[in-house]
Amino acid sequence: MNTQTHGTWDAWVLTLLPEVFPGVLGASVVGKALERGCWRLHVEDIRAFATDARRSVDDTPAGGGAGMVMRADVVGAAVDSVAERMPGNCVFLCMSARGERLTQERVKRLSEADGVGILCGRFEGIDQRVLDARGIEEVSVGDFVLAGGEISAMALIEACVRLLPGVMGNGASVGEESFEAGLLEYPQYTRPRIWEGLEIPDVLLSGNHERVRRWRAEEAEAATRKRRPDLWQKKE
């Protein structure tokens, strides 16, 4: 059940690259939902909260080492400014390779809130004191490293927005996607019936809905066992 307290879901993004938004979030069904007002995107330039003439946002890491670290005073001021405008049940996250892995279940919970605040790091990262003092949870979209959090933020937002009421044309399709039942999705086919000598499986053209349902369930289980044994182990 959706527990939103108002009709519009809000995404608040704090970034040093505001010019890259909305990017892919302005296209396809997510972009159309943005145009219709199903959700709102607020982009805050962290550099606007710098206090010196050079608008410095980073400094050398304490203890030495390569690269630069985003300053606690600048990032903290940006977070506080946004937090004052966010509804009480919004969650503040930081996209980070060292964070907890994002799951579909977590995405569903985020989509049921009034929105989410997302802090995008750059350079070697963000001063840990900001994350600790403001209770900002670190979240990862996978076991790999990007140059910054913007692409990950877009992925998280798109995953949430497509679950909002009225965004996807066919609500039934959302319920059959990967991870919805703890399994990967079954393979999909469409016309032409034969392509480069490869045919659509006969069962999908049989018109027998029960046979199709069983085939899809078997294919989903087989794909999960092969590609994600960690998920399959949880099902057993």
210-219: per-residue pLDDT in tens?
Answer: 999 999 999 9
DSSP annotation of 167 reads T
Check whether 170 has a pLDDT greater than 80. no
Number of residues in the chain:
236
67-110 pLDDT per residue, tens: 999 999 999 999 999 999 998 889 999 999 999 999 999 999 99
Q: What is the DSSP string of 104-155?
A: HHHHHHHHTSSEEEEEE--TT-B-HHHHHHTTPEEEESSSS--SSSHHHHHH
The first and second tokens of residue 58, run together, are 């980073």
